[in-house]
Chains A and B, each alone.
Chain A
Amino acid sequence: MTRALTRDEFSREAIGYIDHLYRVAVHLVKETQEAEDLVQETYARAFGSYEQFAAGSNLKAWLTRILYNFFFDNYHQKKRWVSVENSSAENDVSDYWEKVPADNPGPESHILLKELSATISDALSRIPEEFRLPIVLVDMGDFSYLEAAEILSCPVGTIRSRLSRGRKLLYYQLSDYVTTKEKKREKI
């Protein structure tokens, strides 16, 4: 049986996840100062209830759930998981299908994608939260679908479908960036 962590051990172990929590926080709130406050408050709350943490379980997921719950309670005005069936985001995904070329696109498409890494955070901020969070948790946080579903309190199938749509929306956002960039190059 795993020994329960002491308060000191817990705090020292938890600080190792500060970069991860900050990454999630900056994609939840708009301002970096708010993100910092969110992370600090997460640690304070985690420390206040560390005895509830089951030793040997996933500390990173537990901290992320605290962060998300605190964000939801204090920064969020909407329902936890809103229906997106009729949202404009749905239409954006449909538009995406018209943009996917049927033929082999050639290697330049991948090269351009590499150039876009600096703009990914910006593009993420422009897609709806319900699509953004699964991407942040799975792609940046390395969580499994099950862990992401537990953090966001939703079914595993929802994570999969929103990741699929979310990545297409993100690609759609980045495609816009590529088009703009190419037009600028043409003008030069």
Chain B
Amino acid sequence: MKCEEAQEFITALVDNQVSDEERSLIESHLKDCQRCRFTHGQEQALKREISAAGARLHAPAALRSKILSDRRIFPAPERASESWTERIFPAWPIPRPALGLALAVVLILPILYFMRTPSEPISLAALEIQKKIIGGEVSVQKASHPDELRNWQIRAVNGEFAPVAYDLSSMNVQPVGGVVQEVNGRKMLVTVYAGNGLSVTCFTFIGTEEDAPKIASVFIDPEKKMKFYSFSKDGFNAVLHREGSIICILVSNMSGDELLAMVRAKVQPS
């Protein structure tokens, strides 16, 4: 094989796009040709640099927001209150606002009173933990492998429950570490995901949807038949949802809308 003939095969070898026969031919040529070996090394290095330069290039946050608020792409999420209103009053002849108000006073307010959380909800404590992780007050155990981290967390709660796991690889976001925390006697598995300039922390614990804070906006996904509670505090955005008896809270530096969109996309009904 002549050097000029070898060039395209060198490129394909760098990209791992050669057949076995082609690989054998080109590797044989490289063994004997110092100049082509240099070209091969240089092309490998160049490919790595191009790939690294690409990985550093992110869509501007303003573009994300623009797309997420483009109603041609993302129709407005259905608010829980509107959905319940329509379900409760399908076609009643009585004026709806007056009846709704009366029912709220008679039924909902007493229920809310008895269901109120006596102290700071665990969900807001999760945001405090997030703040401490970022501030270095809470140390996170680094993960050499996601399975290793997961098994360690399961052992830490005597196998009572497992951390909810998310595949965020399409966003180049991977689990990088974790920690186990205790809030008011309840154990909480904390998994930190990072990559691509994004940080997502997943808090898993046994609970109910009553663990959502009062400040949360509730979104109902009619197809998944799930509720998502979106809330923010001290600059952190969070989304809580329930999977059976497990509560998962995702906290991120993404915008509230973006985080809600991601959680809704990734979560499967239990």
Q: A43-B67, A44-B70, A44-B73 are in contact. List 5 more A-B contacts (CB 8 A).
A: A39-B67, A116-B49, A120-B53, A121-B57, A140-B57
11 interchain pairs, CB-CB under 8 A: A15-B258, A18-B64, A18-B67, A22-B58, A23-B57, A36-B62, A39-B59, A139-B47, A140-B53, A140-B55, A160-B17
Instruction: Name the CB-closest residue of B to A122.
Output: B53
The reply on A144 being an interface residue by CB < 8 A is yes
Assembled-state Cα–Cα distance A183/B223 (Å) = 64
Task: Report B158-201 CB contacts with A as 1/0, cut-off 8 Å.
Answer: 00000000000011100000000000000000000000100000
Assembled-state Cα–Cα distance A96/B119 (Å) = 71
Of A18, A103, A109, A174, which is in contact with the most chain B CB atoms at under 10 Å from its CB? Answer: A18
Closest 6 A/B residue pairs (Cβ): A12-B265, A140-B54, A22-B59, A164-B11, A120-B53, A139-B50
Q: Which of A16, A22, A164 is within 8 Å of B57, CB to CB?
A: A22
Of B46, B51, B70, which is in contact with the most chain A CB atoms at under 10 Å from its CB? Answer: B46
List residues of chain A with CB within 8 A of the CB of B171.
16, 19
- Chain A interface size, as a band, is 35 or more
Interface residues of A in 58-92 (CB under 8 A from B): none
Q: Chain B's interface: helix, strand, loop or mixed, by majority?
A: helix
Assembled-state Cα–Cα distance A32/B221 (Å) = 35
Assembled-state Cα–Cα distance A124/B54 (Å) = 11
The reply on A56 being an interface residue by CB < 8 A is no
Assembled-state Cα–Cα distance A103/B46 (Å) = 19
Interchain pairs with CB closer than 8 A, number: 143
CB distance from A22 to the nearest CB of B (A): 4
Number of interface residues of B (CB under 8 A): 51
Instruction: Name the CB-closest residue of A to B54.
Output: A140
Assembled-state Cα–Cα distance A55/B31 (Å) = 45
Q: Which of A48, A161, A167 is within 8 Å of B46, CB to CB?
A: A167
List residues of chain A with CB within 8 A of the CB of B74.
11
Q: Which of B15, B49, B196 is within 8 Å of A120, CB to CB?
A: B49
Q: Say whether A139 contacts B35, CB under 8 Å.
A: no
Instruction: Name the CB-closest residue of B to A120.
Output: B53
Interface residues of B in 66-95 (CB under 8 A from A): 66-68, 70, 72-74
The reply on A151 being an interface residue by CB < 8 A is no
Q: Say whether A139 contacts B54, CB under 8 Å.
A: yes
Q: A16-B170, A160-B8, A163-B15 are in contact. Are A40 and B54 (CB under 8 A)?
A: no
CB distance from B59 to the nearest CB of A (A): 4
List residues of chain B with CB within 8 A of the CB of A116.
49
List residues of chain B with CB within 8 A of the CB of A16.
170-171, 262, 265
Interface residues of A in 110-156 (CB under 8 A from B): 110, 113-114, 116-118, 120-121, 124, 135-136, 138-142, 144-145
The reply on B139 being an interface residue by CB < 8 A is no
Assembled-state Cα–Cα distance A164/B34 (Å) = 18
Q: A12-B261, A100-B38 are in contact. Are A113 and B73 (CB under 8 A)?
A: no
Q: Say whether B67 contacts A8, CB under 8 Å.
A: no
Q: Say whether A102 contacts B46, CB under 8 Å.
A: no
